[in-house]
């Protein structure tokens, strides 16, 4: 452990919003209840994943609109929105609308690349334009420009009784500074820095060439440093780490056994780079908060950040999440030097 680890400044959590197909409202209400609990516990942020054609939240922006009306302080984010599924102009309108409703608390995270299983969904998603769609960083640059207020049209003025704007309406001036990019490779981390974005780094990174380091923490540290080298704000550029972290201080024996079994089943994928893309997975951190704090302080990636959005496991029950969030806020957070948030910002 470093002799003087930096205190954790912002504590957040990330959830998939799992639901039963036969009763989807219950799962969505559970997610909203967890966000409300997070605010009560002093968390700085709550983040939702995207899951298309699965049994997780497919429309985080809509759910966060609801959350914005049940909370007053906690920041609300997406981690991350895959832009291949989105029209950047329409997404910019939705993001600005929810940001206005939330009082400036929205933190949209996004990434680029073709939609998952694109060959199977192309006919429904982009039936007429599939071969022309740009799934690279150009799509992200369109979103950035629109959120920042660049023209979406060459016309502004009045036609009859209709008044038109050149830029997306509503315009939320502070939203652009709260855009995050989900990067897993060195190239994408540099791109995010060059474009002045905030960086979301998760429990998955891309290894370099064979022969280079395959240690998750070292790879993550290298990516974070490369991001800040390219970013206009340098060392002050914001980075949030999103490991799977499960404190067991307040867990029952049955919950501890469940958590350990979950992590054990996922351990084999952490032992070597996976697939042609050579993706490296971080081990899940399960155990008492003091033990997890020691492991984080020794983690080369964590040493580079002062804010986190710890990921909740996909398949646990609501009461499991309540216990985990409570331990994160009351045990692990303080062990990392964090203090609960009480004000807006």
**Which pair of structure tokens corresponds to residue 13?**
């959590």
Identify the band that residue 215 occupies on the pLDDT scale cut at 50, 70 and 90: very high
Read off the pLDDT of residues 64-100 as tens digits, 9 standing for 90 and up: 999 999 999 999 999 999 999 999 999 999 999 999 9
Question: What's the Cα-to-Cα distance from 143 to each of 147, 156, 159, 230, rounded to whole Å?
Answer: 6, 20, 27, 20
pLDDT the model gives residue 18: 95
Q: Are 172 and 96 in contact (CB under 8 A)?
A: yes
What pLDDT does 4 receive? 56
Per-residue pLDDT for 3 more than 60? no
CA-based torsion, 74, 94, 33, 289: positive or negative? negative
> What average pLDDT does the chain have?
96
Q: pTM for this one?
A: 0.96
Q: Which of the four pLDDT bands, split at 50, 70 and 90, describes residue 343?
A: low
Structure-block tokens of residue 181: 């990019």
* Rounded Cα gap, residues 17 and 37, in angstroms: 15
Percentage with pLDDT > 70 across the chain: 98
Confidence of residue 286 (pLDDT cuts 50, 70, 90): very high
Q: Give the pLDDT mean for 36-56.
A: 97
Residues in contact with 80: Cβ distance below 8 Å, sequence separation at least 6, in sequence order: 49, 50, 109, 110, 111, 180, 181, 182, 200
Is 70 exceeded by the pLDDT of residue 345? no
Distance, in Å, from the CA atom of 247 to the CA atom of 324, rounded to the nearest integer, reads 6
Three-state SS across 243-297?
CEEEECCCCCHHHHHHHHHHHHHHHHHHCCCECCCCEEECCCEEECHHHHHHHHH
Distance, in Å, from the CA atom of 30 to the CA atom of 15, rounded to the nearest integer, reads 11
What are the tens digits of pLDDT across the range 111-168?
Answer: 999 999 999 999 999 999 999 999 999 999 999 999 999 999 999 999 999 999 999 9
Task: Give the pLDDT band of residue 321 (cuts 50, 70, 90).
Answer: very high
Handedness of CA 253, 258, 263, 264 (dihedral sign): positive
Report residue 45: phi and psi, to 5°: -155, 155
Range list of β-strands (E), 300-340: 307-311
> Pairing mode, if any, of strands 279-281 and 204-206?
antiparallel
**Cα angle 203, 207, 208; round to 5:** 155
Tell me what pLDDT residue 190 has: 98
Helix (H, G, I), strand (E, B) or coil at 82: strand
User: Are the beta carbons of 219 and 208 closer than 8 angstroms?
Assistant: yes
254 burial class (0-12, 13-18, 19+ CB within 10 angstroms)? exposed
CB-CB contact of 227 with 235 (8 Å): no
Which is nearest to 240 in space by CA: 78, 38, 65, 95? 78
């Amino acid at each position: 452990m470093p002799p003087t680890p930096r205190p954790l400044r912002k504590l957040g959590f990330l959830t998939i919003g799992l639901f039963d197909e036969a009763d989807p409202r219950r799962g969505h209400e559970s997610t909203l209840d967890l966000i409300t609990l997070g605010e009560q516990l002093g968390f700085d942020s709550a983040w939702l994943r995207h899951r298309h054609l699965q049994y997780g939240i497919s429309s985080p922006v809509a759910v966060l609109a609801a959350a914005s009306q049940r909370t007053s302080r906690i920041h609300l984010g997406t981690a991350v929105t895959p832009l291949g599924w989105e029209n950047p102009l329409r997404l910019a309108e939705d993001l600005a609308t929810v940001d206005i409703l939330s009082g400036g608390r929205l933190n949209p995270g996004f990434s680029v690349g073709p939609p998952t299983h694109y060959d199977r969904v192309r006919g429904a998603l982009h039936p007429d334009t599939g071969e022309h769609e740009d799934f690279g960083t150009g799509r992200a640059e369109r979103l950035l420009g629109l959120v920042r207020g660049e023209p979406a049209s060459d016309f502004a003025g009045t036609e009859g009784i209709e008044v038109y704007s050149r830029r997306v309406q509503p315009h939320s001036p502070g939203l652009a500074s709260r855009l995050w990019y989900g990067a897993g490779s060195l190239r994408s981390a540099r791109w995010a820095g060059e474009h002045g974005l905030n960086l979301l780094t998760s429990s998955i990174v891309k290894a370099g060439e064979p022969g280079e380091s395959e240690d998750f923490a070292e790879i993550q540290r290298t990516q974070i440093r490369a991001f800040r080298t390219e970013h206009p704000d340098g060392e002050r550029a914001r980075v949030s780490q999103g490991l799977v972290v499960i404190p067991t201080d307040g867990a029952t024996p049955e919950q501890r056994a469940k958590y350990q079994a979950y992590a054990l089943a996922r351990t084999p994928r952490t032992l070597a780079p996976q697939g042609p893309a050579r993706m490296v997975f971080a081990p899940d951190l399960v155990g008492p908060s003091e033990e997890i704090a020691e492991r984080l302080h020794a983690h080369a990636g964590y040493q580079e950040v002062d804010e986190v959005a710890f990921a909740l496991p996909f398949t646990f029950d609501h009461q499991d999440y309540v216990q985990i969030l409570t331990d994160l806020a009351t045990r692990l957070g303080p062990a990392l030097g964090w203090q609960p948030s009480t004000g807006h910002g």
